[in-house]
Structure 1
Amino acid sequence: MSIVSCFSLGEAHLEADVEPRSLCSVGNKLSRDVYVVWSLGASIRKELSDMSFEQLLQLKEELGTKVYNEAIFGESSMKNNNFKRANKNRPREMSSKVPVSLLSEVVPVKKVVPRDPRFDTLCGEFNEKAFKSSYSFLSKVKQQELKQLKEDLKAEKNSIRKEKIRYLIQRLENQEREVERLEHKEQKKQEERAMQIQLLREGKKPQFQKPVEKRLLELVDQYKELKKSGKLKKHIEKHRKKVMLKDKKKMREHNQIVLGES
């Protein structure tokens, strides 16, 4: 169907005084070109103004948004500005109405990269011996804190506050014991190394301990230390409860497997 025949057919519908609802059904019979031609007429826009909002939405779905907007508002007369320089030595002309993004940075800020000296190669390698000598004063600070906490515990009357102070005291004492254990272990390691060097100087073959032998010696030292401090019985009882809980857990898992298979 040509544009002329479509236009004449559209005029025939207009002259027949078609109701607004019938315009929606016309879209099923006429081609898209008919509605493009209709959108140019002011009479169509006048008739569309008498339609209800529901009928306008139905018409918009059938025509399409572009054709519908042209029928209501007329053809868009957007000017395509071509910003070109009249002379190559002049600055380029740009529109002042370009939308600016909300996330745009007017003044660029350098991104802050967090740095952890433990994993940064620029900070060098960790030297435990140098670290201990540099921060050896912390042990004195912790001893002073422990002394102050014990004094606060005696003077405190609030039960909740007392529990918190006891927890802090126990924590500092555990840290102190762990430091002593590591120092004792390092001392044993240095003694063993010195003995191996002495054997090499005497022309003898150095003797290296196996991991199992080292573990046995550590357990013997731990036993002697607990016996000396009077905490051996408490440690054995704690270890026994731990083993019992582990055995109960294994037995429970075994029973669940047996019941699942049956």
Structure 2
Amino acid sequence: MKKPRSTISTSSKIKFEEPKSSSSSEDEEEIEQELADVTFGELQKARSNGSHLVHPKPKEEKKGGRANKNRPMEVSCKKPVTRFREIIQGSKKVVRDPRFESLCGTLDVDGFRKRYDFLFANELPAEREELLKQVKKSKDPEVIEELKKRISWIDKQLKSESAKRTEAAILAKHKQKEREAAKQGKQPFFLKKSEIRKKRLVEKYKQLKGSGKLEAFIEKRRRKNAAKDHRYMPYRRPDNTEQQI
């Protein structure tokens, strides 16, 4: 019979690999660093409770810095970069409204109207007459349409300026009257928009009556109102007998 091999002889051939010194030293350094961050109070508390586990504080992310001021800033690649970056910081724009800025001076409405009165007194009426002549001479419908639009715009400007002048005259007259009343100790009265509109219509009535165009204006206004009323007037539906016939 064959004798069994002794286990001692085989065991002598086995070599036990010792752990690397480098890995153990690294682990020790990590443990030392973790324990260095733990406060003395937490260590005392762990010992009193009998627990040996101490949770280290989370490590703070290092902010990007520069070793030298001439080098570019290091930014983490984990954080997304904003879409719009301010590369060059320009001067801040200051928005100013000339109506409320003392640097732009004060607006003189009467002086402005006097300086630009030639536009409404001479330029626009002369342009209107010239456009009317061009409408009569031209045969192109598109050109005629453009000329009529320009004439309509000029009429609106002249009509608006005339209404503004009448309103300014009414306000100036009312202010003069209230100043004299205030000197006598009376309470000043300010006109409402509805009162200004009524006085403007009265002034227009006086102007039309003086020029002899009052009857034509009233007839034109009557026809306009009649057409407006006729638009909303209901119509009679046809009877069934009329439909059958």
Q: TM-score range by the shorter chain?
A: 0.3 to 0.5
TM-score (norm 2): 0.47
User: Which structure: larger Rg?
Assistant: 2
Choose between structure 1 and 2: higher helix proportion.
Answer: 1
